[in-house]
């Protein structure tokens, strides 16, 4: 039974051998996951995705999809993969339905699938509206519908929420979660919008300057950085500044909140006891980290 839908081993790639874009990249995308591939602009995300889709030549055969080298997978393997790498070209004078119909005709796919796709991406009521009247969010959902028209097992999406307003981002996020949980589609999604990605992914890979800096489940990342910083909220914080700075690395956020670098749950309990024994009225203790903070720490 195949455990990983995408496997990349020791991948080096560049258009100039003296200036590599990707350096010894190792990456595994588990079947049934939503894998967030994170990195700043220029980190190597899009190049990696183009290699996965066979748009760039993998001379080393370092990239496997469905346990098959990319060089042997395409074009037959395209029916198992839906992708949104570059924004697709739609016919503005045609309706959403007719745009999907054109693709079905060109790819010899069943047109009966169109209604199901429009329902899935929430565009049934807009099926007969011309594309030029679609909002950006509607166009993005139709683009995902285009990627789904062949009923793929894997979706490869490069920055699918880029340029969308918060409501559009929410629509796309809910759609991808639905596809994953209800239809078993594995999703490999790249983005630099960390807070949005954090809401949907099960696994994370972080790339910086062409190198993988972290890879694992969301729980692995949480555990790794869970106790890096802890937020303490207490009354009259100023009265305890010297006590805290004498023993710990502290960053004061405002008159009531500080963040303390901690290494374990035991240390958090010790800080709590120290403060309480010295008369502090503590209102809240919570993890200060998040994906954005972790990303900055890992990729710096």
Rounding to the nearest 10 degrees, give the CA dihedral for residues 216, 219, 221, 225.
-160
The predicted structure's pLDDT at residue 229: 80
What totals of helices (H) and strands (E) does the chain contain, helices first?
A: 11, 14
User: Do 154 and 272 belong together in one domain?
Assistant: no
In 3-state terms, what secondary structure has residue 219? Answer: helix
Residue-wise pLDDT for 191-243, tens only, equals 877 777 888 999 999 998 999 998 988 778 767 765 578 889 999 999 999 99
Separation between Cα atoms, residue 291 and residue 121, nearest integer Å: 28
For the domain that residue 88 is a member of, what is the CATH number? Answer: 3.40.50.300
pTM recorded for the entire structure: 0.77
User: Do 26 and 130 belong together in one domain?
Assistant: yes
Per the DSSP assignment, residues forming a β-bridge with 186 are 154
Residue-wise pLDDT for 83-113, tens only, equals 888 777 889 999 999 999 999 998 888 888 8
User: Do 245 and 287 belong together in one domain?
Assistant: yes
For residue 144, being part of any structural domain is answered with yes
For residue 221, being part of any structural domain is answered with no
Range(s) of the domain holding residue 268: 226-299
From 215, 243, 271, give the residue that closes a domain: 215
Residue-wise pLDDT for 24-52, tens only, equals 999 999 999 999 998 888 889 999 999 99
User: Do 198 and 77 belong together in one domain?
Assistant: yes
- Count of domains in the chain? 2
Rounding to the nearest 10 degrees, give the CA dihedral for residues 185, 188, 192, 195.
40
Number of C-beta neighbours around residue 65 at 10 A: 25
User: Do 185 and 255 belong together in one domain?
Assistant: no
For residue 18, being part of any structural domain is answered with yes
Q: How many residues does the structure list for the chain?
A: 300
């Amino acid at each position: 039974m195949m455990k990983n839908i995408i496997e990349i081993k020791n991948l080096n790639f560049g258009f100039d051998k003296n200036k590599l874009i990707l350096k010894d990249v190792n990456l595994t995308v588990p079947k049934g996951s939503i894998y967030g591939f994170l990195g700043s602009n220029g980190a190597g995300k899009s190049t990696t995705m183009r290699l996965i889709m066979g748009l760039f030549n993998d001379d080393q055969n370092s990239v496997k999809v469905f346990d098959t080298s990319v060089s042997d997978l395409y074009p037959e393997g395209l029916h198992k993969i839906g992708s949104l790498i570059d924004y697709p070209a739609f016919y503005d004078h045609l309706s959403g339905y007719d745009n999907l119909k054109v693709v079905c005709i060109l790819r010899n796919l069943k047109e009966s699938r169109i209604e199901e796709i429009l329902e899935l991406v929430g565009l049934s009521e807009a099926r007969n509206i011309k594309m030029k009247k679609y909002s950006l969010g509607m166009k993005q959902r139709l683009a995902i519908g285009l990627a789904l028209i062949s009923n793929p097992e894997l979706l490869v999406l490069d920055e699918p929420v880029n340029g969308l307003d918060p409501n559009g981002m929410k629509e796309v996020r809910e759609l991808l979660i639905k596809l994953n949980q209800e239809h078993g589609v594995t999703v490999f999604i790249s983005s630099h919008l960390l807070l949005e990605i954090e809401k949907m992914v099960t696994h994370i890979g972080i790339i910086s300057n062409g190198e993988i800096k972290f890879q694992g489940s969301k729980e692995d990342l949480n555990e790794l950085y869970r106790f890096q910083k802890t937020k303490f909220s207490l009354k009259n914080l100023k009265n305890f500044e010297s006590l805290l700075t004498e023993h710990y690395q502290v960053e004061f956020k405002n008159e009531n909140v500080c963040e303390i670098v901690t290494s374990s749950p035991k240390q958090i309990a010790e800080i709590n006891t120290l403060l309480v024994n010295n008369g502090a009225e503590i209102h809240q203790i919570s993890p200060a980290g998040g994906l954005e903070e972790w990303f900055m720490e890992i990729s710096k």
